[in-house]
């Protein structure tokens, strides 16, 4: 689709009110009129603006352009505030006035990075991912408008669009009013966001319900945030150093807990936990500490409970996502197909069709507020690895790690170290379960 002709170069425009060659040239001409004081930051913004295909660009934004600061939250590596951006973001070039037309004041989120006076180039490279996506992806991924610097601490801050709350907060306050279709719409939205990320060979690394932001305007309006940014701003990973594991334990794939690298399949594992959380309503392992004991049991096969009345097709999707073997997990394309099959497949009068959405919706709504049986009430987690899978896992000891791997639990004050000796993580699991053998019987079918 074309959106008129550029008044300056007479070329057809593929984006409304935006000619990439002309506007990139205008932005280049302004490079000497601003500086962040950090060459890495300068180069990142300049590279982005020089290749801007739309008005979704990164800007260096002077801190005095923000007012009305309000504290929102504090995490492991940053503090988040809401603020008003007084002149707003660039929208288009005004040919009559020969200036950039801006949006005017609007609310934004400021993520001020702790101890970030000296940002590493590796950390800033993660921001480049935010500008790889085509416009349609910003329905599913949080927008980043630019970078600024807090003048007192000299800490850098990222400027994001402001949403109303996290998905976790939304579920806490609105779960009982959500229908099964509402929940599936949210799940589909998150799946499409992760598909955008994975289609550009990007790995999120820290996907959980606190990093998915929600708007009250529309039930399905969920945006993925914070991918690739869940590490200290000044951290530089050397070739020989062991990478710390940053995240919230229940959402971290078992292979990552064992010390293997993050992959797109580990993101799918996290998504499976989130899907079950949306259907179930509770945080995963809600009554347990997120500590090394839980990490060990997850590596042995522990997963959150799937509610009894969850439709079978959804159970299948969830279990495929958190399969012990990363190769068995669906990619985002397959996962989206499975969701749409469940929601939209025509049943042709066959009431027993496995994807009979109307039947499952009726059953789910009738039972969603009913109490669980006593076993599920007391044990909100269950071992799901079959004997054959367990045998296969025990035979495959290739993924051994030194127990000095570190799990940094974001969102809490806890720092969990799996340390103490040089035995592999699999041996630690076996030793732990032999000491606590009664737990095995607790989780049997």
Q: Which of 258, 183, 194 is nearest to 220 (CA)?
A: 183
Q: Write the Ramachandran bin of 259: left for phi over 0, alpha for psi from -120 to 50, otherwise beta.
A: left
For the stretch 130-175, pLDDT in tens is 667 777 888 899 989 999 999 999 999 999 999 999 999 999 999 9
Q: Considering 161, 186, 220, which residue would you say is the last residue of a domain? A: 161
- Residues facing 12 on adjacent strands: 5
Indicate whether 276 and 306 sit together in one domain.
yes
Residues 336, 294 share a domain? yes
Domain presence at residue 182: yes
- Residue 215 region by backbone torsions, left for phi larger than 0, else alpha for psi between -120 and 50, else beta: beta
At 125 the pLDDT is 61
Whole-number Å distance between alpha carbons of 359 and 155: 54
Indicate whether 27 and 64 sit together in one domain: yes
If asked whether residues 172 and 145 sit together in one domain, one would say: no
| 11 inside domain | no
Residue 375: inside a domain? no
| 3-state DSSP percent of the chain in helix, strand and coil, to 5 | 40, 20, 45
**276: which 2 tokens?**
């079950």
Nearest to 224 by CA among 255, 254, 203, 244: 203
Number of residues that make up the chain? 445
Q: Which of 131, 161, 191 is the last residue of a domain?
A: 161
Number of domains in the chain: 2
pLDDT, tens digit, 9 for 90 and up, residues 255-293: 999 989 899 999 999 999 999 999 999 999 998 899 899
Same structural domain, 392 and 270: yes
68 shares its domain with 199? no
- List the single range of 110-119, 233-242, 378-387 with lowest mean pLDDT: 378-387
The pLDDT of residue 137? 84
Q: How confident is the model at residue 343 (pLDDT cuts 50, 70, 90)?
A: confident
Q: What pLDDT is attached to residue 357?
A: 62
Q: Are residues 233 and 91 in the same domain?
A: no
CB 94 within 8 A of CB 101: yes
Which tokens in the block code for residue 150? 């807090």
CATH number of the domain within which 261 lies? 1.10.510.10
Q: How far apart are the first and last CA of the chain?
A: 57
**Based on the domain organization, do 310 and 432 belong to the same domain?**
yes
Name residue, tokens 């809490």.
412
- By residue range, what is the domain housing residue 97? 20-161
Tell me whether residue 2 is in a domain. no
- Which of the listed residues 161, 179, 207 is the one where a domain comes to its end? 161
Given a cut of 60, is residue 233 above it in pLDDT? Answer: no
Band the pLDDT of 74: cuts 50, 70, 90: confident
Q: What is the pLDDT of residues 344-402, one digit of tens each?
A: 765 554 554 455 666 666 666 666 655 443 334 334 455 444 433 433 444 443 333 33
Could you tell me if 251 and 169 lie in one domain?
yes
């Amino acid at each position: 689709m074309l959106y008129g002709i550029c008044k300056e170069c007479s070329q057809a425009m593929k984006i409304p009110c935006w000619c990439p060659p002309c506007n990139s040239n205008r932005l280049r001409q302004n490079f000497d009129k601003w500086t962040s004081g950090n060459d890495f930051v300068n180069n990142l913004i300049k590279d982005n603006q020089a290749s801007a295909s739309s008005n979704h660009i990164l800007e260096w934004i002077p801190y005095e352009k923000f007012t009305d600061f309000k504290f929102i939250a504090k995490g492991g590596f940053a503090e988040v505030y809401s603020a008003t951006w007084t002149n707003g973001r660039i929208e288009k070039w005004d040919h009559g006035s020969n200036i950039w037309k801006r949006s005017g004041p609007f609310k934004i989120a400021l993520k001020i990075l702790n101890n970030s006076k000296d940002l590493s180039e590796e950390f800033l490279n993660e921001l480049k991912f935010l500008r790889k996506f085509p416009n349609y992806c910003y329905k599913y991924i949080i927008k980043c408008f630019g970078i600024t610097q807090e003048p007192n601490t000299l800490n850098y801050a990222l400027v994001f669009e402001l949403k109303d709350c996290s998905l976790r907060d939304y579920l806490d306050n609105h779960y009982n009013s959500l229908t099964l279709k509402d929940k599936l719409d949210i799940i589909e939205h998150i799946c499409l966001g992760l598909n955008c990320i994975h289609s550009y060979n990007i790995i999120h690394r820290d996907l959980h319900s606190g990093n998915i932001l929600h708007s009250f305007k529309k039930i399905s309006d969920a945006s993925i945030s914070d991918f690739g940014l869940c590490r200290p701003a000044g951290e530089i990973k050397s070739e020989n150093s062991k990478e710390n594991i940053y995240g919230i334990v229940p959402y971290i794939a078992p292979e990552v807990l064992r010390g293997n690298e993050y992959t797109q399949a580990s993101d799918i594992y996290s998504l499976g936990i989130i899907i079950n959380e949306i259907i179930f309503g509770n945080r995963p392992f809600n009554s347990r500490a997120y500590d090394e004991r839980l990490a060990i049991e997850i590596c042995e096969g522990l997963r959150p409970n799937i509610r009894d009345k969850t439709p079978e097709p959804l159970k299948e999707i969830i279990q495929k996502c958190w399969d012990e073997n990363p190769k068995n997990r669906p990619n985002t394309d397959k996962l989206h197909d499975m969701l749409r099959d469940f929601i939209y497949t025509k049943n042709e009068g066959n009431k027993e069709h496995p994807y009979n959405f109307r039947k499952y919706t009726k059953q789910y709504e009738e039972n969603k507020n009913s109490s669980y049986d006593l076993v599920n009430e007391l044990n909100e987690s269950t071992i799901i690895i079959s004997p054959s899978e367990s045998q296969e896992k025990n035979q495959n000891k290739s993924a051994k790690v030194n127990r000095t791997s570190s799990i940094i639990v974001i969102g809490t004050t806890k720092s969990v170290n799996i340390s103490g000796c040089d035995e592999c993580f699999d041996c630690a699991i076996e030793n732990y379960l032999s000491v606590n053998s009664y737990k095995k019987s607790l989780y049997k079918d």
